[in-house]
């Protein structure tokens, strides 16, 4: 572990981004700084910063202060890479230091213009180009801003859109928090309490960040992590998706993983049949909406030439093992939830992960299986409960000791969840009439 050394920046010294935002593919100076500059920078240290305007679905500006930062991180082989995060501060007074929530949005795509840093900007075309998940999930980040917390949203798939590469995403997330705590205008110092939130593709980044915290960035004061629709085992997700409606989205994850695991990329290059090769070429530049819709019901394993189950072949097995959660027990309290009928990420894999964590007697974990939802609805009904739980952790309320697993008819019935959602929507509605978010 290398200690972070983020730079502090004064507001007057930070230039604005272009009024018409450029996607990463057209903005290499910011997104891909010279390799020697990145290598000479400490993990989490800021290389460049600029002011941006955040908007709902690229159209309606949100009344907050926001910046993008380019910073150094490491890939899963501990090689230096550039990373980008969006830092957002509500316009209101807060106890110093301001609390911080790192929100890992589900990018679930294989092109740079799908990344949160671009998709969240005013006049971004990402929502109409297929990135609908990031702008929709941003409501949960706005719920945090309405509490007066600062928010950091990392582009956790990295500079090459390595969708589903959890160890990479975990490092980028932790270094994004380092960058946020060292960025003076955000008003979040190194002693600030930090929470983690992520659902589905965002749970992959959140879960790996939680597991890596103790070894990679132990100086960060992470007080809790909330993960829903948990992507605990990619092999199990691929097996469940094979020949099913969700196979197009899972194939995108296969494509993303080739960008972080060279041996796996070589294996696929040698084994994919013509249909698989054609799909990789067609899907490479797509965001999540079109990744999901294009050619479902694929025989994913059938496209790979193998004498047996391709998931057992060494390059595939090694990648699946590296990306599987449960290698270490996170050193902060955990809140996990999953739909009992999840059609994308198997419930059994999350059950296994919980069992793994709970073998450690020091684990603090609350786990809920929601029985009135599927994958998407589970975030809508479970997200408010997760944010309420995180609010207690950020306020210094001790988490329950031990592990608790429960089955809920619907997590919308969690005490306080509906009122929390109502307060959030009211605060959001007021911004349409000029009220700054988080000014209460």
Are the beta carbons of 206 and 198 closer than 8 angstroms? yes
Q: For 20, phi and psi rounded to 5 degrees?
A: -95, 105
C-alpha atoms less than 13 angstroms from C-alpha of 396 in its C-beta half-sphere: 1
CA angle at 298 for the pair 295 and 302, rounded to the nearest 5°? 145
Are the beta carbons of 3 and 42 closer than 8 angstroms? yes
CB neighbour class for 37 (10 Å; exposed up to 12, middle 13-18, buried from 19): middle
CA angle at 152 for the pair 163 and 254, rounded to the nearest 5°? 5
375 is catalytic: yes
342 is catalytic: yes
**How far apart are the C-alpha atoms of 335 and 273, rounded to whole Å?**
41
Name which of 250, 252, 258 is nearest 234 in CA terms.
Answer: 250
Are the beta carbons of 200 and 140 closer than 8 angstroms? no
Q: For 226, phi and psi rounded to 5 degrees?
A: -115, 125
427 token code pair: 């605060």
**Active-site option among 73, 117, 124, 200:** 200
**Active-site option among 233, 322, 342, 370:** 342
306 is catalytic: no
**Which residues belong to the active site?**
200, 342, 375
């Amino acid at each position: 572990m290398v200690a972070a050394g983020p730079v502090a920046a004064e507001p007057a010294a930070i230039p604005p981004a272009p009024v018409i935002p450029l996607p990463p593919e057209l903005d290499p100076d910011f997104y891909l700084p010279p390799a020697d500059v990145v290598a000479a920078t400490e993990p989490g240290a800021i290389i460049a910063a600029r002011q941006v305007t955040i908007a709902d679905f690229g159209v309606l500006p949100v009344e907050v202060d926001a910046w993008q930062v380019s910073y150094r991180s490491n890939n899963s082989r501990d090689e230096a890479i550039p990373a980008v995060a969006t830092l957002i501060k509500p316009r209101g007074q807060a106890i110093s230091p301001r609390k911080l929530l790192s929100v890992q949005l589900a990018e679930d795509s294989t092109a740079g213009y799908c990344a949160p840093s671009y998709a969240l900007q005013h006049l971004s075309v990402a929502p109409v180009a297929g990135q609908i998940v990031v702008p929709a999930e941003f409501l949960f980040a706005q719920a945090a801003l309405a509490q007066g917390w600062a928010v950091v949203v990392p582009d956790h798939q990295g500079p090459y859109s390595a969708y589903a590469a959890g160890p990479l995403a975990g490092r980028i997330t932790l270094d994004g928090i380092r960058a946020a705590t060292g960025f003076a205008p955000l008003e979040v110092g190194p002693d600030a309490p930090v929470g983690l939130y992520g659902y589905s593709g965002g749970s992959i980044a959140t879960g790996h960040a939680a597991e890596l915290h103790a070894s990679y960035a132990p100086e960060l004061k992470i007080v809790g992590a909330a993960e829903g629709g948990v992507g605990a085992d990619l092999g199990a997700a691929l097996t469940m998706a094979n020949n099913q409606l969700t196979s197009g989205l899972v194939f995108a994850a296969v494509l993303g993983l080739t960008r972080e695991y060279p041996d796996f990329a070589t294996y696929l290059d040698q084994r994919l049949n013509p249909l698989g090769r054609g799909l990789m070429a067609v899907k490479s530049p797509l965001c999540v909406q079109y990744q999901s819709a294009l050619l479902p019901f694929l025989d994913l394993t059938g496209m790979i030439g193998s004498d047996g189950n391709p998931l057992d072949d060494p390059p595939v097995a090694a990648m699946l093992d590296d990306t599987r959660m449960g290698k270490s027990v996170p050193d902060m309290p955990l809140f996990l939830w999953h739909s009992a009928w999840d059609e994308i990420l198997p419930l059994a894999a999350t059950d296994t992960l919980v069992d793994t964590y709970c073998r450690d007697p020091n684990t603090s974990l609350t786990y809920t299986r929601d029985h009135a939802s599927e994958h998407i609805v589970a975030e809508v009904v479970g997200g408010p409960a997760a944010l309420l739980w995180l609010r207690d952790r950020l306020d210094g309320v001790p988490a329950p000791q031990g592990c608790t697993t429960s089955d809920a008819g619907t997590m919308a019935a969690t005490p306080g969840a509906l009122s929390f959602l109502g307060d959030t929507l009211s605060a959001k509605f007021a911004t349409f009439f000029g009220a700054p978010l988080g000014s209460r």
